[in-house]
C-alpha cells in the first residue's frame, strides 16, 4: 500500500505542477450551450457543470489547490511544531509546564469550530486557509517533537556540548534538530492528508477557497448538491478525487512511519 500511496502522491504533484498543460480547457473556460453535458462525450470526458465548464479540467486544477495547501500547510505545521517542541522539550521546567497546559487546552476544543471562527474573521482565501491549518496542526503536533527532544537531550554528546560552553541555539540546531528529523518527517507526511481534507471541509462549508477557484471541497457544495439527482457527476468526480488522494497520502505517510 505504501507503493500505491507513493504513486498517488506523485500523480497529485504532477497534475498540480503541470495542470496548465494537462487540462484540455481552462479552469474557468465555459460554454453555456454545453452545460450539464453528461460524462462520456468525446468533447467532455467527465461531463460539464451548470456553466458548461469541463469537469476534468477543474479536477486537474483542483489538484494544484490541494497540493499547495497540503505542502504549504504541512511546512508551516512543521515550523510551528518544531519551534514549540524544541524549546519546551530542551528547557523543561515551568515554561514547559505552562506551555503544555496551553496545548492541553487547545486540544480540548474541536479544531473545526476554531478554524471556522478564525476563518470568519480572516475571510476565505488560500493564504488564510494555509495559515489557520498550519498553526492549528503545528500546536497539536508540537508534543511529538517535544517527546523526541526529551528523549535525546540527556545523551552524552548533548551534555558534552553544554559542558564546553556551546550556546543553546547552536546545540539545538547542530545537535538536537538533526536527531529529531525522523519524527519531523513522519509528522510532515501525515499532516499533508489532514491539510487536504481540512481545506476541502472548509471550502465545502464556504469558509475555504472562494469560487471560482476549483477546490474539490467547494465543488462538492452548492450547485453540486442542488443537482445531485439530475447531474450526480458534479459531486462524484471531486469526491472521488478527494477520497483517492487522501487515501494515497495517508498510505504513504504510514509507510514512511
pLDDT, tens only, 69-126: 999 999 999 999 999 999 999 888 898 999 999 998 888 888 888 888 888 888 889 9
At residue 190 the predicted structure's pLDDT band, cuts being 50, 70 and 90, is confident
Predicted confidence at residue 163, as pLDDT, reads 82
Predicted confidence at residue 250, as pLDDT, reads 86
Measured CA to CA, the distance from residue 165 to residue 202 in angstroms comes to 49
Predicted confidence at residue 236, as pLDDT, reads 92
Contact indicator for 5, 250 with CB cutoff of 8 Å: yes
Reading the block at residue 244, the C-alpha cell is: 483517492
pLDDT at 240 over 90: yes
Q: Which ranges constitute the DSSP H helices of the chain?
A: 2-17, 19-22, 55-91, 93-108, 111-122, 126-152, 156-163, 168-171, 177-179, 181-204, 216-220, 223-226, 233-256
pLDDT at 134 over 90: yes
As a whole number, mean pLDDT of residues 208-221 equals 87
Show the domains of the chain with their CATH numbers.
Answer: 2-256 (1.10.3720.10)
Predicted confidence at residue 143, as pLDDT, reads 92
Measured CA to CA, the distance from residue 192 to residue 10 in angstroms comes to 13
Reading the block at residue 182, the C-alpha cell is: 525522523
Predicted confidence at residue 62, as pLDDT, reads 92
At residue 160 the predicted structure's pLDDT band, cuts being 50, 70 and 90, is confident
At residue 170 the predicted structure's pLDDT band, cuts being 50, 70 and 90, is confident
pLDDT at 138 over 90: yes
pLDDT at 222 over 80: no
At residue 68 the predicted structure's pLDDT band, cuts being 50, 70 and 90, is very high
Reading the block at residue 98, the C-alpha cell is: 505552562
This prediction's pTM = 0.89
Residue % of the chain over a pLDDT of 90: 42
Predicted confidence at residue 61, as pLDDT, reads 94
Amino acid at each position: 500500500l505504501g507503493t500505491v500511496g507513493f504513486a498517488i502522491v506523485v500523480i497529485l504533484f504532477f497534475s498540480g505542477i503541470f495542470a496548465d498543460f494537462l487540462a484540455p480547457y481552462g479552469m474557468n473556460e465555459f460554454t453555456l450551450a454545453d452545460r450539464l453535458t453528461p460524462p462520456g462525450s468525446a468533447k467532455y470526458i467527465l461531463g460539464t457543470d451548470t456553466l458548461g465548464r469541463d469537469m476534468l479540467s477543474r479536477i486537474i486544477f483542483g489538484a494544484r489547490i490541494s497540493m499547495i495547501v497540503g505542502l504549504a500547510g504541512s511546512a508551516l505545521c512543521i515550523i510551528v511544531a518544531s519551534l514549540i517542541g524544541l524549546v519546551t522539550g530542551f528547557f523543561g521546567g515551568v515554561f514547559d509546564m505552562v506551555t503544555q497546559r496551553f496545548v492541553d487546552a487547545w486540544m480540548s476544543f474541536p479544531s473545526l469550530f476554531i478554524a471556522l471562527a478564525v476563518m470568519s474573521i480572516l475571510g476565505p482565501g488560500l493564504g488564510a486557509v494555509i495559515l489557520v491549518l498550519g498553526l492549528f496542526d503545528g500546536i497539536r503536533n508540537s508534543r511529538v517533537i517535544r517527546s523526541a527532544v526529551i528523549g535525546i537531550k540527556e545523551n552524552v554528546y548533548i551534555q558534552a556540548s553544554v559542558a564546553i560552553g556551546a550556546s543553546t541555539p547552536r546545540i539545538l540546531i547542530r545537535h538536537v534538530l538533526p536527531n529529531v528529523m525522523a519524527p519531523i518527517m513522519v509528522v510532515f507526511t501525515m499532516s499533508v492528508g489532514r491539510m487536504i481534507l481540512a481545506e476541502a471541509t472548509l471550502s465545502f462549508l464556504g469558509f475555504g477557497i472562494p469560487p471560482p477557484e476549483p477546490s474539490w471541497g467547494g465543488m462538492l457544495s452548492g450547485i453540486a448538491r442542488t443537482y445531485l439527482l439530475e447531474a450526480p457527476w458534479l459531486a462524484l468526480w471531486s469526491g472521488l478525487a478527494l477520497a483517492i488522494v487522501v487515501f494515497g497520502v495517508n498510505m504513504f505517510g504510514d509507510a514512511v512511519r
